[in-house]
Amino acid sequence: MKNALIFTAALAALTFSASAQSDQASGKTEVMTPQKLWELGRVSLDDVSENGLVLYGITHYDTDANRGNRDLYLGELATGEYTVLAETKASEYGAFFLRGGERYGYFSGGQLWLAKVNGGMTELPTILTDVEGGMGDAKVVELNDGRLLVAFVTRVQMDQTPAQRHPEAPKANYAVYDDLMYRHWDSWTDYSYNHIAYMVVDPSKTSWTGKFTDIMAGEKVHSPLPPFGGAESFDISPDGRFIVYASKKTENGKEFTLHTDSKLYLYDRETGRTSTLNGLGGYDNHPTFSPDGKWLAFVAMPEDGYESDVNQLYIVDVASAGEKRALQPVVAAEYINDFKWASSSCIIYNETTEGTQQLRRLDLMTGKNGLAAKKVTALTSGDYNYGGFGVSGNTVIAERQDQNHATELYLLNAKKEDVAAKSFTSENASLYEDLAMGKIEKRWISTSDGGKMLTWVFFPPNFDPEKKYPTLLYCQGGPQSAVSAFYSYRWNFQLMAAQGYIVIAPNRHGVPGFGKEWNEQISGDWGGQAMRDYLAAVDTLAKEPYVDANKLGAVGASYGGYSVYMLAGIHENRFKALISHCGLFDMKSWYLTTEEMFFANKDVGGPYWTAEVPKAYTDYNPMNFVQNWTAPLLVIHGGNDFRVPVNQGMEAYQAAQLRGIPSRFLYFPEEGHWVMSPQNGLVWHSEFFSWLDTWLK
C-alpha cells in the first residue's frame, strides 16, 4: 500500500451564516435533534398561475402512526396570504392551474379532483375520474371546448405471473426469470410496465365512462423509466394534439441494464401515430413544449451508458423534430437539473455550480438552426440550493434550502438577480427560532493533482474555539453527486454538529459543479484520487487547534459507504470510528448482484473477467485491505437494497467480526437504499450517534 500523503491547504475562504453567528451570541441552548427533524414541515411547490396564485404542499410526519401526509395550499403572490385547500387522510399531489388560474386540480388517491377559485377562496373540489388501479403521475391541458385532456402513467401487466405460469399450484411461492432486470433498486418485478395513457374528461358531467387510450399499447417498454421517472418524463402540447414521452424502446431485459439510450417519442392524437425524435446517445428526458406549441425543449446526455454525463438543454422545432441532424446545446451549463418556459422566447433553468444550485434566465432568439441563446442572466446566488420553481409574469417563486434550513418558498425577480429574495412561506420558522445553529465555513483545499477542492466545515452550536472537538469526515455518495447546500433529513449536517461534532464535507473529485474534467475524473478511479482528497481534507482540518486529531470518524452512504470501507484499509490509524451505510465492500460480488449494469461498466470499468482486470477489483477493492482494519465499524444496510445488495454489508460486518474489530450490524429488512419509515429513521439516528459517542467521546 502506498503511504498516504499530507497535503497543504489553500488559505481558507470563510463564509459564516449570519443567523448562526447571532445564535451563538444569544446563548440559545436548544439544538437540532432527530425528533425535531421529523417535526419539520416539508414544503414543495406544485404550480403558479398567470394571475399570481400559487399551489404548494406541506408534508407532515406522524412518528407514532409511522406515516406522512401532504396537504395542499393556495397562496397569493401579492399578499402572501394562503388558504388550506385540503387536509385529508390521503395526500394531495400534482396540483395544477387551468387557463387563467380560475380553476385548479390535483390528484389524490390516484384520481383527479377539480375546483374553482373565487377571490382567493375555493369551492369544494369534485372528483372527476374513477380509474381502476388509480393514475400515477399525470398532466392536464384544457382544450378549446372546455374539456380536459389528462395524460397519465398506468401500470400494464404484459409478462406472465407465477400464478398464470402454474395455475395448478395456486399456493406455490416462487418466481422464474429468463432475463435481467428482474429487480430494480428496491423492488422485484411485478410483471408490469409503465405506460403513458390519456383520456378526455368533461368537467360539466358527473359521470365518466372510465375509458382511456394507452398510447404504448402492446409495447414491453417503460415510460417513465423506472424507478425514479415521473411527470417530467412526458408532456402535452398546449393544443392537446401531441403527447411526448421518454422511453428506452430498443432495450429490454439485459439490454435495458446495459444502456441509457432513451429517446423521445411524439404521439399524434389526430393520426394515432408515434414518431421518434432526434436525440443524443444517452438519456433524453424532460420534454417540454413551449407555450406556443412550436418548440420542444429537453435535456440530454451525449454518452450511452453514462448516467452521470453532462445534462444539457436542447431545443428543436416540433414540425421537424424527427429530422436527423447534429444537435447543439443552447446554453453552456455543466449540469441542468430543471427548466421551465417563462415564454416562448425565454427559459428559466436550474444548474449545479460550485456546491450550490442556482437559477438562470435564458433569453432566446431565432437563429439559422432554430432558437439560440441570446443572453443568460443569473437570477440567484449565495450558498443556497434552489429547487423546483414556477414563473408568473416578472416573478419567480422557488423552493430554497440551505444546510441549516429546510425548504421554504421564496419570491425572486424573473428578469435580474435579486439578492434579497423575499420569503413566501415560513412553515418552520417557529421551530428554528428556538434553535442554536452552528456556523458554516467554506475552504478551498489543495489536492494532490494541483486542484482546489471546495470543502464545507460545520461547527457545533455555541462553538468554543478554545475547546477540542471530535470531528467527522462526511463521504458523499453518487459518486457523481455534489456536496451542495442541501438539507437532508438523514445525513443532516446541522444535526451532526448539534451533537458536538465538527463535520468536514469535501467536494472531492467526481462531483458536478466544478467542471467536466473534475466530474469525470472518478470513473474507473473510485479508490484513487477521491481517497487522497478525503485524506487531504482530514489532514488539513486536523491541524486546527479546535479539532481533536485523536477523535476522528468517517461516515457515508452508497459510494460514501464504499469510501468508508476503502478508508478503513488505508487511513493509517487516523480514524477511531467508522459508519458505512449501504456501502460496496467486495466489487466482484457487487458486480454480479447489482442491477443497472451500465453504471457498473462505466464507473468501475466493466466485469472482472476481462484480460485487463479493472483496478476496481484489485487496487480499489475494499475487501482486499481488511488485514489493515483497526477502527470500530458500524455497518447499516436495507434488505430491499438491490443497487447495493445486503450481502455487501454482511460481508463487511463478518470480516470485522472475524478480525476482532469492534463492529455492529444495523439491518432494516423492509428498507431499500434509503431509510424512509419515520420510526426506522429515529432508530437510524439513535444507533448512528450512539456508535459515534461510544468511540469518539
The answer to whether the beta carbons of residues 83 and 53 sit under 8 Å apart is no
Distance of CA 526 to the CA centre of its chain: 21
Task: Report d(CA 602, CA 304) in Å as an integer.
Answer: 10
Using CA atoms, how far apart are residues 111 and 199, in angstroms rounded to an integer?
13
Place of cell 398464470: 164
Instruction: Clarify whether 641 is annotated catalytic.
Output: yes
| Number of neighbours of residue 654 by Cβ within 10 angstroms | 14
| Of 253, 183, 190, 230, nearest in space to 640 by CA | 183
* Distance of alpha carbon 32 from alpha carbon 23, whole angstroms: 13
DSSP summary character for residue 180: S
Q: How far is CA 425 from CA 191, 295, 399, 432, 437, in A?
A: 43, 34, 10, 14, 20
DSSP string, 644-667: S-THHHHHHHHHHHHHT--EEEEE
The rounded distance, in Å, linking the Cα atoms of 158 and 378 is 47
What CA–CA distance (Å, rounded) separates 506 from 485? 12
**82: how many CB neighbours lie within 10 A of its CB?**
15
Sheet holding 148-157, edge to edge: 138-142, 148-157, 192-201, 213-214
Marked catalytic residue, from 222, 286, 571, 673? 673
3-state secondary structure 441-456: EEEEEECCCCCEEEEE
- Distance between CA atoms of 560 and 76, rounded to whole angstroms? 42
**Catalytic hit among 17, 290, 484, 558:** 558
Closest CA to 344 of 306, 321, 370: 370
Determine which one of 223, 233, 641, 685 is catalytic.
Answer: 641
Q: Which H/E stretch holds residue 411?
A: strand 405-413
User: Taking CA 253 as the corner, what is the angle to CA 247 and CA 255, rounded to the nearest 5 degrees?
Assistant: 70
Is residue 558 among the annotated active site residues? yes
| Bridge partners for 138 per DSSP | 152
Q: Do the Cβ atoms of 633 and 571 come closer than 8 Å?
A: no
Helix, strand, coil abundance in the chain, percent, nearest 5: 20, 35, 45
Cell numbers representing residue 23 in the block: 445564535
Positions marked catalytic: 558, 641, 673
